[in-house]
Amino acid sequence: MNGFINFLKPPGMTSHDAVSFIRKQLKVKKAGHTGTLDPGVAGVLPICVGKATRLAEYLLARPKSYRAEITLGVATDTQDAYGRVLSEKDCSHISEEEFQKVFYSFLGSIKQVPPMTSAVRSGGVRLYELARRGIEIERKPREVTIYRLNILRKEWKLPYPKVIFDVVCSKGTYIRTLCHDIGEKLGVGAYLSFLIRTQTGSFHINDAWTGEEITSSVMIEKYNFLLPMQEGISFIPVITVDAGKAEDLIHGKSIILPRNEYNTNKMYQITDPYNRLIAVGKVFSQKEHIYFFKPSKVFG
């Protein structure tokens, strides 16, 4: 059994628990997720099964989309609603226009300091494990990218205005830290009061399956929630080759590609005439208009 599951993780479940649930339902040993979601956060958690686990690295690097709510005027030690309140400040002097100016200033490449409640490792220990022991250490800022920000609704009511927004960001971005940093820049503090992941790569929340739906399908031996491996990496362009070339790839050989124009050093997926994923790798050229494909992962 190989493929991807667009799993809708509920709040309260860890990403590890989500993978364990899928292993138990499908009675498989090989399964993994493609990017941790905090236990309190719901949303899209793509899970790879069988050979698809070898494709997880490509999904991990894809942009993530979230819907979030920021509450101004309150700062917490976890930067979200689960933490201890550190400060409460008056927001009456902050206008909606000033908020928008600061909010959109976070578009593009920014630096974030990972929160102590994150899963980042320091000296082999995860930060949240140190935080549980009451230990706080200095963390180096990390560069992340905010590709898109869009304000959906503002509840500009004192003492603590709230704003709901959509964000598309790079791997490793902390939305709670984004909210915290917006509050710091405004001088009043802020925390993340709601978060749901709406998309990872080509996996969208509108097509996600709940645990209950998966359980019901498995009971009637219907596995339409398990997507083919190539659908999980649909952002990687496809080259279809004949059965002979597919066989060469299965045996680890490089092949000459059908005459066409290809981008060298770009990742491609190779499928056979039956639309089965054979390999993922890069194209290179030794002579003009003669292109070779060198597999980095083979799935025959």
Residues of the chain above pLDDT 90, percent: 72
pLDDT tens, position by position, 98-152: 999 999 999 999 999 888 676 677 667 777 777 777 777 777 899 999 999 999 9
Q: What is the mean pLDDT of residues 157-169?
A: 96
Task: In whole angstroms, give the CA distance from residue 27 to residue 43.
Answer: 24
The neighbour count for residue 205, using CB atoms within 10 Å, is 17
pTM of this structure: 0.90
DSSP code for 114: P
Task: In whole angstroms, give the CA distance from residue 181 to residue 166.
Answer: 17
Q: Considering only 174-183, 198-207, 266-275, which range has the smallest mean pLDDT?
A: 266-275
Q: What is the mean pLDDT of residues 225-234?
A: 93
Q: Where are the beta strands (DSSP E) in 10-83?
A: 31-33, 42-49, 64-72, 74-76
CB 283 within 8 A of CB 236: no
Task: In whole angstroms, give the CA distance from residue 61 to residue 169.
Answer: 11
Counting every residue written for the chain, the total comes to 300
CA 76-68-87 angle, to 5 degrees, is 15
**What band does 292 get if pLDDT is binned at 50, 70 and 90?**
confident
Q: Considering only 5-9, 122-126, 168-172, which range has the smallest mean pLDDT?
A: 122-126
DSSP-based helix, strand, coil % in the chain, nearest 5: 25, 35, 40
Catalytic sites, residue numbers:
38
DSSP code for 131: H
What was the pLDDT predicted at 40? Answer: 83
pLDDT tens, position by position, 62-101: 999 999 999 999 999 999 998 899 999 999 999 999 999 9
Tokens representing residue 155 in the block: 């509840």
Domain annotation for the chain: domains and CATH numbers: 3-62+201-231 (3.30.2350.10), 64-195 (3.30.2350.10), 236-298 (2.30.130.10)
